[in-house]
A and B are shown apart, each in its own frame.
Chain A
Amino acid sequence: MITPLPSTVVQPEPAPAPVPSQPLLTLDGVVKHYPAGRGKQVHSVDGVSLEVGKGEVLGLVGESGCGKSTLARTILRAVSATAGQITFDGEDITRVKGARLKALRRSMQFVFQDPYGAFDPKMRLGTSLDAPLRHHGMKDKAERRGRIAEMLDRVGLEEEILDRFPRECSGGQLQRMVIARALLLKPKFLICDEPTSALDASIRAQILNLLVELKDQLDLTLVLISHDLRVVRYLCDRVAVMYLGQIVEVAMRDDLFSNPRHPYTRVLLAASLAEEEKTGEHELVSQLRGEPPSPIDPPAGCRFHPRCPLAQEVCHTVVPEAARPGEGHLVTCHFWDQ
Chain B
Amino acid sequence: MANSTLTTPPTRKREPWHLSAPPSHRPNIFLATVRNLLHRHWTFEVGAALLLFVLLVLVLTPWIAPHDPANQDLANRLAGPSADHWLGTDHLGRDVLSRLMWGGRFSVTIAGITLVICVVSGTILGALAGRRGGWIDEVVMRTVDVLVCFPDVVIALFLIALFGTGYGTLIAALSIAGWTPFARLMRGLALEINAKEYIEAAEILGSPKWFILFRHVIPNALPPVAAMSFLRFGHKLITVGALSYLSLGVQPPDSDWGAMLLDAQPYMERAPWVGILPGAAIFITALSVTMIGQGLDVQKKRRTTARTTGPSGAPAEEPASRTAIEEGEAL
What residues make up the interface of A, taking CB atoms closer than 8 Å to B? 73, 76, 78, 101-102, 105-106, 109-110, 112, 114, 117-123, 131-132, 135-136, 160, 163-165, 167-170, 172-173, 181, 185
Contact = CB atoms under 8 A, between A and B. Distances in A.
A165 B321 CA distance: 13
A118 B325 contact: no
Contacts of A119: 198, 201
Interface stretch (B76-84, B142-150, B161-169, B214-222): B214-222
Pairs A-B, 9 closest by C-beta atoms = A170-B17, A105-B206, A117-B197, A132-B205, A168-B23, A120-B198, A122-B219, A102-B206, A163-B26
A57 to B, nearest CB: 20
A122 B198 CA distance: 11
A78 B203 contact: yes
A132 B17 contact: no
B220 A122 contact: yes
Interface residues of B, number: 27
A110 B328 CA distance: 28
A121 B220 contact: yes
B207 A110 contact: no
Contact of B216 (A105, A120, A181): A120
B15 to A, nearest CB: 10
A110 B211 CA distance: 19
B198 A135 contact: no
B192 interface: no
A131 B207 contact: yes
A78 B16 CA distance: 34
Given A118-B197, A132-B206, A181-B205, 15 more contacts: A102-B206, A109-B204, A119-B198, A123-B216, A131-B207, A131-B215, A132-B207, A135-B206, A165-B328, A167-B324, A167-B325, A169-B17, A170-B16, A181-B201, A185-B206
A164 B26 CA distance: 7
Given A120-B220, A122-B219, A135-B206, A112 B201 contact: yes
Interface in B287-331: 324-325, 328-329
Contacts of A167: 324-325, 328
Contacts of A164: 23
Contacts of A120: 198, 202, 215-216, 219-220
B317 to A, nearest CB: 21
A127 to B, nearest CB: 8
Interface in B219-268: 219-220
Contacts of A122: 219-220
B207 A163 contact: no
A59 to B, nearest CB: 21
B10 interface: no
B204 A117 contact: no
A76 B204 contact: yes
Contacts, number: 76
Nearest to A135: B207
Contacts of A117: 196-198
Contact of A123 (B204, B206, B208, B215): B215
Residue of A102, A118, A119 with most chain B CB atoms under a 10 A cut-off: A118
Given A132-B207, A185-B205, A168 B325 contact: yes
Contacts of A181: 201, 205
B198 A78 contact: no
Contacts of B206: 101-102, 105-106, 132, 135-136, 185
Contacts of A101: 206
Interface in B69-125: none
B200 interface: yes
A78 B215 contact: no
Contacts of B220: 120-122
21 contacts: A76-B204, A105-B205, A106-B206, A110-B201, A110-B204, A117-B196, A118-B197, A118-B201, A120-B215, A123-B215, A123-B219, A131-B205, A131-B215, A135-B205, A135-B211, A164-B23, A165-B329, A167-B324, A170-B16, A173-B17, A181-B201
A203 to B, nearest CB: 10
A88 B203 CA distance: 19
Contacts of A106: 206
B139 to A, nearest CB: 23
Nearest to A131: B207
Contact of B25 (A109, A118, A131, A163): A163
Contact of A105 (B198, B204, B219): B204
Contacts of B197: 112, 114, 117-118
Contacts of A165: 325, 328-329
A132 B205 CA distance: 6
B200 A78 contact: yes
Contacts of B198: 117-121
Contacts of A135: 205-208, 211
Nearest to B221: A122
Contacts of B216: 120, 123
Nearest to A158: B22
A135 B26 CA distance: 25
